[in-house]
A and B are shown apart, each in its own frame.
Chain A
Amino acid sequence: MFLIADRVTYTYNRRTGVEAVKALREVSVSVDRGSFTGLIGPNGCGKTTLLKLLAGVLSPDSGTVSLDGRPLARMSRRHVARRLAVVPQETHPAFDYSVLEMALMGRHPHLGAFQLEGPADIAIAHESLTATGTSHLAERSYMSLSGGEKQRVVIASALTQAPEVLLLDEPTASLDLGYQLEVGLLLRRLNRERSATMVMATHDLNLAASLCDTLVLMRNGRVLASGNTSEVLTSAMVRQLYDVEADVRVHELAGHLTVVPLGRLS
C-alpha cells in the first residue's frame, strides 16, 4: 500500500463549533502504487475533504494519512508537494498569467526560497504542456482559454510538479462531452505510460467506470464499500449511494461498465 488514510476524521469549523460539519468519520482508504482509484458518492459525502486530507492540504482531527509509510504530518508542505499534486475542479487566478507561467508554478516545491527556475525547469514545463496537448498555447493568457484547455493546463502544471500521485477533484465537471473524453484519455495515458498513481473524485460514474481500476464508495462521511470497479459498481450499490434505480452493465463497444439511471427512489 502506497497512500493510506487510516481512520481519519475531519470536522469543518471544529475550532469555533459554530455550524460544525463532520465531513469524515473514521474513514480508511488505501491506494496502490500505479493504480487509478475513484472516489464516488453523492454531494457532501466527503470526497473533496478526503482528497484534501490525502493531499495534506487539510490535517485530520484524528487518524493519519501516510505516503510510503511516512505520515504526511511529519513532512514539510514542500516535501509533500514534490510527491503529490492536486488538480482542482476549477482554477481562477486573480491575475492574467500565461499558460507557461501557470505550468511553471508546478516547479515551486522543487525550487529554493530565492531560486528562479532555469532551463531544466522550463523544459519540464514544456514537456508537461506537450503531454497534455497544450504546448501551442504556452504564450497565451490562461484566462482566455476554453474550459477544456484550462483544465489541461492545470493538469500540465500538476505534472510539472513531477509528482508520484495525482489527486483530481472532479476534473471534468465543468467540461463538455468532447473535453470530458479528451481529459479522460489524457488521465488514462498518464496513468499507464508514466505509471502515475491517480486518485479521482467524480460524480460521473461512467467516467469512473471507464478509467478507474478501484472504486471507493462514500456516503455521509463514511466508506460504504471499496474494491475492484467491476465488483463494487453494481445497481445495488448505486441504489445505496444515490437512492437511484440504475441499470449497470458492460457496454460492448465501450468495453467497460456503464450506468444508466432509470429513476429516483422516494
Chain B
Amino acid sequence: MITADSAETDGTPLPRRTTSSSIRGRLAATILGFGTVALATCVLAPLVGTTPISLTRALDRSIPFDQNVDAQIFFVARLPRVLAGALVGSALASAGVVLQAMLRNPLATPFTLGVSAGASLGAMLVIVLGGALTLGPLSTVPMASLAGAAAATAVVYWLATRQGHAMSTSVLLLAGVTLNSFLSAIIMFVQYIADFAQVYRAARWIMGDLDIGGYDTLIASLPLVLAAYVLFAWLPASLNLLSVGKDAAAARGVDVPRAQRLAFFSASLATSAAVSLAGPIGFVGIVVPHLVRLLVGVDHRIVLPASALFGAAFLVACDLLARTILAPIEIPVGVVTAMIGGPFFLWLLVRKS
C-alpha cells in the first residue's frame, strides 16, 4: 500500500482552498494561529474589568498571594469565568462542526437535536421544584441538566435508529426539532406554576451565565468535555466523507453507522457538558464553524481543531463584552452571542440562497 510521508511545510498564512500545500503544514499553521489567539484571549480577558489589573503584578511571585490584590482578582474572581467561557465555547463550536457534517446541514447547531432543551428542562425542574424534590445527587442544577440532556439524547437516538441499523439523519433532525418544541412547552408550563423568584432564576439560567463562582464546577465538567474530545479525534476524515454523502462515505471505506453513532454521541456529550456548566448559550455552535470555514476552508481535519480553539476565544471575548459594555451592569452572555449570531445566521441564509 502507498503510505504517506511528511512533506514540505511553508509557514505562510493559508488562503482559502490552497489545498496544494501539505495538510500537515496547514494543520500546524492553523493550530499555532488559532491556539495563539485562544491563549492570548484567555490571558488578557481577566485583566479587563471594573478594576483594571496588571498582568506582571498578578503573576509576580515575590508578593505573597494574600497581599497581591491583582493576583486575587486575576485567579479567584476572573480566571474561572474566563476558563469556563473557553471550555464552553470550545465544546459548543466543535459539537456544531460535528453535527453540521453528520447531518449534511451547515445550518445545524449543537441544540438542533434537542440536547439543550432536555438540559433546560432538567435545570428548570430543580430550580422550580428543587425544594419539593429529593433527587439525591440530581438536586443540583448542573447535575439535573446533565440528566435531562442524557435523556433527550437517548430519546432522539432511539427514534432515529428504530427503523434499522443505520441512523436516519432526516429522522434525527425531525425528532430533534420536535423534541425541542415539546420540551419548550413543558418548560413554559413549569415556569407558569413557579413563583416570581424561581421564574427569574430560570430565565436567567436560560440566557446563559459563565459566572460559575470558582473552579469546582469547571473541574467537574472537564472529564466530560475531554472524553468528547477524545472521541472527536477519530472523526474528521469520516466527517469529510459523511458530508459528501452517506453512500459516498460507505464506498470510500467509512463504517457509516459507527461514524454516525460516534459523531452523535460525542457531540451530545460535549453539548451536555457545556450546557450543564453555563446554560444554553446560543449561536456559538454555528457562528464559529462558519467563520473558521471562511478562514481555513472546509476540510474537517482542519476545521474541527480550529473551531475548538476559536470557539474558546470567541466566547471569552463575548463574555468580556457582556461584563464590560454596560459596566457595572452585566448583560447575560447568551444575549451577546445571540446579538452577534442572529444577524450572522441570517447573513449566511441569504448568502446561501
Contacts and interface: CB of A to CB of B under 8 A. Distances in A.
Interface of A: 13, 15-16, 52, 55-57, 76-82, 84-86, 88, 91-98, 100-102, 104-106, 108-111, 113-122, 124, 138-139, 141, 161-162
A139 B20 CA distance: 8
Interface in B196-255: 233-234, 237, 240-241, 243-245, 247-248, 250-255
Interface in B238-284: 240-241, 243-245, 247-248, 250-255
Contact of B104 (A78, A94, A108): A94
A16 B163 CA distance: 6
Given A15-B164, A98-B17, A119 B7 contact: yes
B2 A124 contact: yes
A108 B233 CA distance: 16
B252 A101 contact: no
B59 to A, nearest CB: 36
B298 interface: yes
Given A91-B248, A110-B1, A105 B240 contact: yes
B3 A98 contact: no
B14 interface: no
A161 B23 contact: no
Nearest to A162: B2
B4 A117 contact: yes
A101 B299 contact: yes
Given A81-B252, A81-B253, A97 B244 contact: yes
B6 interface: yes
A57 B247 contact: yes
Interface string B1-36: 111111100000000011110111001000000000
B72 interface: no
Interface of B: 1-7, 17-20, 22-24, 27, 100-101, 104-106, 163-164, 233-234, 237, 240-241, 243-245, 247-248, 250-255, 293, 297-299, 301
Contacts of A52: 247
Interface-central residue, B164, B297, B298, by most chain A CB under 10 Å? B298
Contact of B101 (A55, A94, A119, A141): A94
A77 B253 contact: yes
Contacts of B19: 98, 100-101, 104, 138-139
A105 B299 CA distance: 10
B171 to A, nearest CB: 12
A93 B234 contact: no
A170 B173 CA distance: 30
A253 to B, nearest CB: 37
B17 A141 contact: yes
A97 B298 contact: yes
Contacts of A56: 250
A92 B248 CA distance: 10
Given A116-B4, A119-B4, A120-B4, A57 B250 contact: yes
A52 B224 CA distance: 39
A120 B2 contact: yes
Given A77-B254, A78-B253, A88-B245, A98 B297 contact: yes
B247 A86 contact: yes
Contacts of A121: 2, 4
B6 A93 contact: no
Interface-central residue, B19, B22, B164, B233, by most chain A CB under 10 Å? B19
Contacts of B24: 116
A100 B20 CA distance: 8
B254 A108 contact: yes
B251 A81 contact: yes
A120 B298 contact: no
Nearest to A158: B251
Contact of A57 (B2, B18, B251, B293): B251
A187 B208 CA distance: 57
A113 B259 CA distance: 12
Given A113-B234, A116-B301, A120-B4, A86 B20 contact: no
Nearest to A109: B253
A23 to B, nearest CB: 15
Contacts of B237: 108, 111, 113
Given A16-B163, A118-B5, A124-B2, A85 B251 contact: yes
Contacts of B301: 116
A14 to B, nearest CB: 8
Nearest to A140: B17
A116 to B, nearest CB: 5
B2 A110 contact: yes
